[in-house]
Structure 1
Amino acid sequence: MKKILVRVLLVLLVAALGFGGFVYYMVHNSTSQIYSYNKKTNKSSDDKTTSKQAVTYLLLGTDTGTLGRSYKGRTDTMIVMVINPKSKTTTMVSVPRDTKIDFDDVTIKINAAYSYGSSGTAMEAVEKLLSIKLDGYLLVNMKGLEQLVDAVGGVTVTSPLTFNYDNKSFIKGQSYNLNGSDALKFSRMRYDDPNGDYGRQMRQQQILTGVIGKLKKNPTTVISQKFLDAVGKNVRTDVSLGSVKNLATDYRDAGTTIKSDQLHGTGQNIDGQSYEVMPDSEIARVHSLLQSAIDAK
Structure 2
Amino acid sequence: MRTGRRPAALRAAGLALAGALVLGVGTAGWAYWHLNHNIRSVDIGNALGDDRPARPQASSAASAVPAAALPSGALNILVLGSDSRSGEENRRLGGGDSEGARSDTAMVVHVDAGRRTATVVSIPRDTLVTRPSCPLPSGERTDEADAVMFNSAYAVGGPVCAVKTVESLTGVRMDHYLEIDFSGFAKLVDALGGVTVTTGEDIDDDRSRLHLPAGTHHLDGTRALALARTRHGIGDGSDLGRIGLQQELVKALLEQIRATGLPADPARLYRVADTVTGSLTTDTGLDSLGELTRLGQSLRGLSAGRVRTVTMPVVPAPSDPDRVVAEEPAASRLWASLR
TM-score norm. by structure 2 comes to 0.70
| Cα drift, residue 161 of structure 1 | 0.5
Report if the CA contact (8 A) 2:196-2:219 is conserved. Answer: yes
Which of 79, 104, 110 is the equivalent residue of 2:107? Answer: 79
C-alpha distance in structure 2 between counterparts of 1:76 and 1:109, whole Å: 12
Match of 1:6 in 2: none
Match of 2:151 in 1: 111
Report if the CA contact (8 A) 1:21-1:249 is conserved. Answer: no
| Cα drift, residue 142 of structure 1 | 1.6
Q: CA distance change for structure 1 residues 206 and 227 in 2, over 3 Å: closer, same or farther? A: same
Deviations 1:90-132 (A, max 9, x none): 2110111121111233122111112222312111100110111
Partner SS for 1:201: helix
| Cα drift, residue 192 of structure 1 | 3.0
Q: Structure 2 matches for 1:25-36, cutoff 5 A?
A: 28-36=32-40
Unaligned runs of 5+ in 1: 1-8, 292-297
C-alpha distance in structure 2 between counterparts of 1:114 and 1:163, whole Å: 29
Q: CA distance change for structure 1 residues 249 and 151 in 2, over 3 Å: closer, same or farther? A: closer
C-alpha distance in structure 1 between counterparts of 2:193 and 2:229, whole Å: 20
Match of 1:181 in 2: 222
Which of 193, 208, 214 is the equivalent residue of 2:256? Answer: 214
| Cα drift, residue 135 of structure 1 | 0.7
- Name the aligned partner's letter for residue 84 of structure 2: T
- Please state if 1:13 is matched with 2:10: yes
Percent sequence identity over aligned pairs? 24
Match of 1:91 in 2: 119
Match of 1:275 in 2: 323
- Name the aligned partner's letter for residue 205 of structure 1: Q
C-alpha distance in structure 2 between counterparts of 1:85 and 1:29, whole Å: 32
C-alpha distance in structure 2 between counterparts of 1:116 and 1:22, whole Å: 38
- Name the aligned partner's letter for residue 268 of structure 1: A
Report if the CA contact (8 A) 1:89-1:258 is conserved. Answer: yes
Q: CA distance change for structure 1 residues 249 and 71 in 2, over 3 Å: closer, same or farther? A: same
| Cα drift, residue 62 of structure 1 | 1.5
Deviations 1:7-28 (A, max 9, x none): xx65x312445x4952586885
Match of 1:205 in 2: 247
Deviations 1:200-225 (A, max 9, x none): 22222222222222221223179623
Q: CA distance change for structure 1 residues 56 and 149 in 2, over 3 Å: closer, same or farther? A: same
Which of 149, 165, 169 is the equivalent residue of 1:129? Answer: 169
C-alpha distance in structure 2 between counterparts of 1:81 and 1:23, whole Å: 26
Deviations 1:33-73 (A, max 9, x none): 454453678898xx999653111110112221338xx9542
Report the more deviating stretch, 84-93 or 272-281: 272-281
Match of 1:5 in 2: none
TM-score norm. by structure 1 comes to 0.78
Which of 73, 82, 90 is the equivalent residue of 1:53? Answer: 73
Report if the CA contact (8 A) 1:60-1:77 is conserved. Answer: yes
- Name the aligned partner's letter for residue 121 of structure 1: C
- Name the aligned partner's letter for residue 276 of structure 1: V
- Please state if 1:165 is matched with 2:205: yes
Report the more deviating stretch, 191-200 or 25-34: 25-34
Unaligned runs of 5+ in 2: 1-6, 22-27, 50-54, 63-68, 88-97, 133-143
- Please state if 1:22 is matched with 2:18: yes
Q: CA distance change for structure 1 residues 37 and 141 in 2, over 3 Å: closer, same or farther? A: same
- Name the aligned partner's letter for residue 216 of structure 1: R
C-alpha distance in structure 2 between counterparts of 1:269 and 1:30, whole Å: 51
Report the more deviating stretch, 25-34 or 99-108: 25-34
Report the more deviating stretch, 19-28 or 116-125: 19-28
Deviations 1:256-284 (A, max 9, x none): 611111013123363x7953111221321
- Name the aligned partner's letter for residue 106 of structure 1: A
Q: How many residues align?
A: 275
Report if the CA contact (8 A) 1:50-1:243 is conserved. Answer: no
Q: CA distance change for structure 1 residues 35 and 182 in 2, over 3 Å: closer, same or farther? A: closer
More helix by share: 1
| Cα drift, residue 251 of structure 1 | 3.3
